Amino acid sequence: MKRVILVRSMWMAAILLGVSFVSFMLMRALPGDFVLAAAGAQMLQPEVLEAMRRDLGLNQPLIEQYLSWLGAVLKGDFGTSFVTHQPVLHELWPRFLVTLELALIAAFIALVMGVSTGLVSARLRGAADWIVRLYNGFILAVPNFVVGTLIVLLVGLYFPELAVLSYTPFLEDPLGNIAGMILPAFALALAISVTISENTRAAVLEVSNQDFVMVARAKGLLPRTILWNYLMRNALTPIITVTGLQVATLLGGSIVIETIFAIPGMGQYLFDSITSRDYPVIQAIVLVAAACVVFINTLADIAYATADARVEA
């Protein structure tokens, strides 16, 4: 187990290093830089722009800029925002928590909806199967920003007292905060729940045809024992895999949903910082997001090995 953790951590470090390098270079490859974006419509003298670049260190060779950024990050210093002149971590942390909360609630909703509909579809077959699959196909065809916008519009129209667009900080009113998160999390979860549902259905159907399920029935076991210990326990591994992959995409989806529901999370922060080419902020967000994805995949691997003794972690 120690060796596994060591290998895993080195793997994680390598991925994060690669991601930070690629994103660093990609951002610089975009036309325009922070100085131009900050200048906006003002026609500043080229010498002024150059002086600003020199102040921010943007005139250095790219590789040097990257290495000095990396060196600082390794010491825990993510730099200061070009726009607000605040330490990046200081601004990022509360926003990260908001997005994390949204993603966790969405993952929970997606898992509950996906697994239950997939299970119903596979076990009942017939009409229930048709309805679930039709619904899945429909939801899959509709992008989540459409669903999100529809929710905002419909709730705003018919339940104006719910006030969808007013975010409450967790520390002010924990219950109100969670209640306010449910609709955006639902919009975020829908597409993912469909993928989980389809995969659960396929996995349960596959397991249903295995000999050991026939043996379980020949033992006279109760249907619920067969369902949990034989069908679900075996269907769990593919469900874990797909859930891990899907939850990682939640971070990307949250950019859109946070914008629609006016939630002050990391997604909106990323969008703003890309528009203003606020490089230190972008770098930090990309690194945090990549770390989350790698972490979730590691968790999925561990869950996988726990669910199935044949898998070596």
Partner 1 sequence: MTASDPILSVRDLTARIVSRKQIVDAVKGVSFDIARGEAVGFVGESGCGKSVTARAIMRLAPEGTRVELGGSVHFDGQELLPMSEAAMRDVRGRRIAMVFQDPMTSLNPVITVGAQIDDILRRHTGLSGRAARARTVELLDQVGIPAPAQRADDYPHQFSGGMRQRVLIAIAISCDPDLLIADEPTTALDVTVQAQILRLLLRLREERGMSLMLITHDFGVVAGMVERVNVMYGGRIVEAASVDDIFRAPTHDYTRALLAAVPRLDRHGVAP
Nearer to partner 1, 130 or 212 (CB): 212
Size of the site for partner 1 (CB under 8 A): 25
Task: Report how far residue 230's alpha carbon sits from residue 215's, in angstroms, rounded to the nearest whole number.
Answer: 10
- Token pair, residue 50, equals 């150059």
Nearer to partner 1, 109 or 235 (CB): 235
Nearer to partner 1, 26 or 215 (CB): 215
Is residue 310 involved in binding partner 1 (CB under 8 A)? yes
Is residue 308 involved in binding partner 1 (CB under 8 A)? yes
- Token pair, residue 82, equals 């070009």
- Only one of the segments 59-67, 108-116, 150-158, 301-309 lies at the binding site for partner 1 (rule: CB under 8 A); that segment is 301-309
Nearer to partner 1, 8 or 133 (CB): 133
Q: What is the dihedral of CA 269, 274, 276, 281, to 10 degrees?
A: 60
Nearer to partner 1, 54 or 233 (CB): 233
Q: Write down the least CB distance from residue 36 to partner 1, Å.
A: 58
Is residue 312 involved in binding partner 1 (CB under 8 A)? no
Nearer to partner 1, 271 or 304 (CB): 304
Task: Report how far residue 248's alpha carbon sits from residue 213's, in angstroms, rounded to the nearest whole number.
Answer: 33
Out of 222, 224, 275, 312, which residue is the one contacting partner 1 (CB under 8 A)?
A: 222
How many CA within 13 A on the CB side of residue 285?
28
Which three-class secondary structure string do you get for 180-238?
A: HHHHHHHHHHHHHHHHHHHHHHHHHHHHHCCHHHHHHHHCCCCHHHHHHHHHHHHHHHH
The 187-216 site mask, x for binding partner 1 (CB under 8 A), equals ---------------------xxxxxxxxx
Q: Which of 9, 20, 243, 25 is nearest to 115 (CA)?
A: 243
Q: Which of 217, 91, 194, 84 is nearest to 134 (CA)?
A: 194
Q: Which of 285, 277, 291 is nearest to 82 (CA)?
A: 277
Out of 62, 162, 219, 272, which residue is the one contacting partner 1 (CB under 8 A)?
A: 219
Is residue 220 involved in binding partner 1 (CB under 8 A)? yes
Nearer to partner 1, 83 or 307 (CB): 307
Q: Write down the least CB distance from residue 233 to partner 1, Å.
A: 5
The 226-265 site mask, x for binding partner 1 (CB under 8 A), equals ---xx--xx-x-----------------------------
Q: How far is CA 161 from CA 8, 158, 180, in A?
A: 49, 9, 12
Coil, helix or strand at residue 22:
helix
- How many helical (H) and strand (E) elements, i.e. helices and strands, does the chain have? 13, 0
Helices 62-74 & 279-307 angle (0-180, nearest 10): 60
Q: Write down the least CB distance from residue 201 to partner 1, Å.
A: 14
Nearer to partner 1, 85 or 224 (CB): 224
Q: Write down the least CB distance from residue 300 to partner 1, Å.
A: 16
List contacts with partner 1 (CB under 8 A): 208-222, 225, 229-230, 233-234, 236, 307-310
